Amino acid sequence: MNLEIYLPTALLALGTLVVAWRQPRMHPAWTARILILFIGGSALAVLGLLAFLVVMATGVWTPAKAALAGGLLADNGRVPLPVGVAAGALLVLIAVAVTCSALRWRRELREARAVGTGVVADERPYAVAVPGHDGGVILSSGLVGMLSRRELEVVFRHEAAHLEHRHHLYLMAGSVFTRVFPCLAYPYRALRYALERWADEEAAVAVGDRVLTARTIARVALAQPPAAPGRLALTGSHVTRRVTALLGRTPPDSRIAGPVLFGGAWMAAGSAISPTVTHHVNLVLVLL
Amino acid sequence: MSRRKLGQLEAEVLAVLAGADGFLSPNDIGDRLAGGAAYTTVNTILFRLLDKNMVDREKRGRAYVYRLTADEPGLAAERMFGHLRLAHNPSAVLSQFVHGLNPKEEEALRALLDETEGQR
């Protein structure tokens, strides 16, 4: 077996980590688009690789077909059976994990829709955007009670931006891709942050006051009940970074740099996937 | 104008009402929405909001004018899903405005807030 078959996938995953780590300074909308593209590309490359390993190891191919495939097989040599079995097991695990996520989302959406949108009687201050045609915003009376009208406008604008740009689709896709390839957890966190920043920036433009937007976010975050020790204590939320970013300079609108870099990312991801995928697909077609 | 979902329009109408002092007519609201919106669409949204106790209205001349109230909870708390679960385990479908903080972040954030207080 030749290690080269892992190379494009590994490079793309590495590139995704680098992009998430060293983000170019641009509008968060474009950061989010580029991140989801890289995350999706990496996950697809991993899926393609696993499927390929399974096919190669399970000996679907016969000597006659192998002769037909000729050069292709000579390129790669045989994949040892244990590797193929491991790849198959991983594929099954991925399928289970993705199904679990999908079921969780369905339950959450159903619960949220059962509540309806509007103000809910609850002391804890929170606001939730519910996607979908009949979606909207759920606010707690605690939030309404602590905010001025201008601050409430910030909250509504922020949630409206999430709904307008269908951020839940980015999050769901990103979450599925992370299930496929857990190394993408870090870029996925960067994506979550970029989506929040995107909505923050839209809210700041709509209300025309960055400091007010920053203060609203900070005040609502500080009024949250203290976090349970554990998960959050380690990772932290993005709130401090969001507030700092809003108090800093306005991001460039990236009207040119955004599409250019997005195109570049598209080509990078595409060229990393296509040799692997087309090569694997060709091989599978020949063998079947 | 791109087709917007009712949920998104609802949030935008609420934002417009929150940003306005006093009452607005459906036409005023439509004008203030980015990209504009048809009178009937705005009215549909306003009726939904009226139903949810998010706005109240007053007759002015022949037409109604609306304002944000939102101080009467229209939804029962016990029907609300586990907010704490959501706060510490971010959901992919439901975006929350903010999540809880850890002690270090809380300290940093308080310092930032004090700074902006000084600027004002």
Q: What range defines the domain where residue B113 resides?
A: 81-119
Q: Give the percent of chain A with pLDDT over 70.
A: 83
Burial of A132-166, coded b for 16+ CB within 10 Å and e otherwise, reads eeebbbbbbbbbbeebeeebbbbbbbbbbbbbbbe
**Tokens 């995350």 found at:** A39
How far apart CA A120 and CA A115 sit, in angstroms, is: 8
The strand pair at A136-140 and A118-120 is best described as parallel
The model's confidence at residue B2, banded by pLDDT at 50, 70 and 90, is very low
A160-179 pLDDT tens trace: 999 999 999 999 999 999 98
User: CB distance B102–A221 less than 8 Å?
Assistant: no
User: CB distance B87–A247 less than 8 Å?
Assistant: no
Alpha-carbon dihedral angle through residues B115, B117, B118, B120, given to the nearest 10 degrees: 130
Asked if residue B75 belongs to a domain, the reply is no
A20-74 pLDDT tens trace: 888 878 899 999 999 999 999 899 888 888 888 887 777 655 555 555 554 454 4
Asked if residue B76 belongs to a domain, the reply is no
How far apart CA A40 and CA A16 sit, in angstroms, is: 10
pLDDT surpassing 60 at residue A207: yes
**Do B60 and B92 fall into the same domain?**
no
User: CB distance B95–A227 less than 8 Å?
Assistant: no
**Do B20 and B52 fall into the same domain?**
yes
User: CB distance B68–A152 less than 8 Å?
Assistant: yes
**Do B64 and B11 fall into the same domain?**
yes
Asked if residue B20 belongs to a domain, the reply is yes
- What CATH number is attached to the domain comprising B44? 1.10.10.10
Asked if residue B91 belongs to a domain, the reply is yes
Q: Burial-class residue B56 by CB neighbours within 10 Å (0-12, 13-18, 19+).
A: middle
pLDDT surpassing 90 at residue B108: no
User: CB distance B73–A199 less than 8 Å?
Assistant: no
Q: A180's torsion region: left (phi>0), alpha (psi -120 to 50) or beta? A: alpha
The strand pair at B63-68 and A127-130 is best described as unpaired
Alpha-carbon dihedral angle through residues A205, B96, A266, A47, given to the nearest 10 degrees: 180
Asked if residue B104 belongs to a domain, the reply is yes
- Rounded to an integer, the average pLDDT of A241-245 is 91
A278 Cβ contact list (under 8 Å, min separation 6): none
Nearest residue in chain B measured CA to CA from A218: B109
**Do B58 and B91 fall into the same domain?**
no
**Do B51 and B15 fall into the same domain?**
yes
The 3-class SS string of A96-162 reads HHHHHHHHHHHHHHHHHHHHCCEEECCCCCCEEEECCCCCEEEEEHHHHHHCCHHHHHHHHHHHHHH
Gap from A284 CA to chain B (nearest CA, Å): 35
ipTM: 0.87
A129-161 pLDDT tens trace: 888 877 888 888 889 999 999 999 999 999 999
Question: Which residues from A are below 8 Å from B103, CB to CB?
Answer: 233
**Do B49 and B99 fall into the same domain?**
no
**Do B60 and B16 fall into the same domain?**
yes
B26-51 pLDDT tens trace: 988 998 888 778 888 899 999 988 88
Asked if residue B73 belongs to a domain, the reply is no
Report the pLDDT value the prediction gives residue B81, as an integer from 0 to 100.
52
The model's confidence at residue A187, banded by pLDDT at 50, 70 and 90, is very high
Nearest residue in chain B measured CA to CA from A148: B18
CB pairs under 8 A between A and B: 238
Nearest to B70 among A121, A144, A163 (CB): A144
How far apart CA A131 and CA A77 sit, in angstroms, is: 49
Total structural domains within chain B: 2
The model's confidence at residue A229, banded by pLDDT at 50, 70 and 90, is low
Residue B6 contacts A where some CB pair is shorter than 8 Å: yes
**Do B94 and B60 fall into the same domain?**
no
Chain B, residues 24-83, CB within 8 A of chain A, namely: 34, 52-54, 68, 70-77, 79-81, 83
**Do B13 and B59 fall into the same domain?**
yes
**Do B18 and B57 fall into the same domain?**
yes
Structure tokens, A247: 């108090």
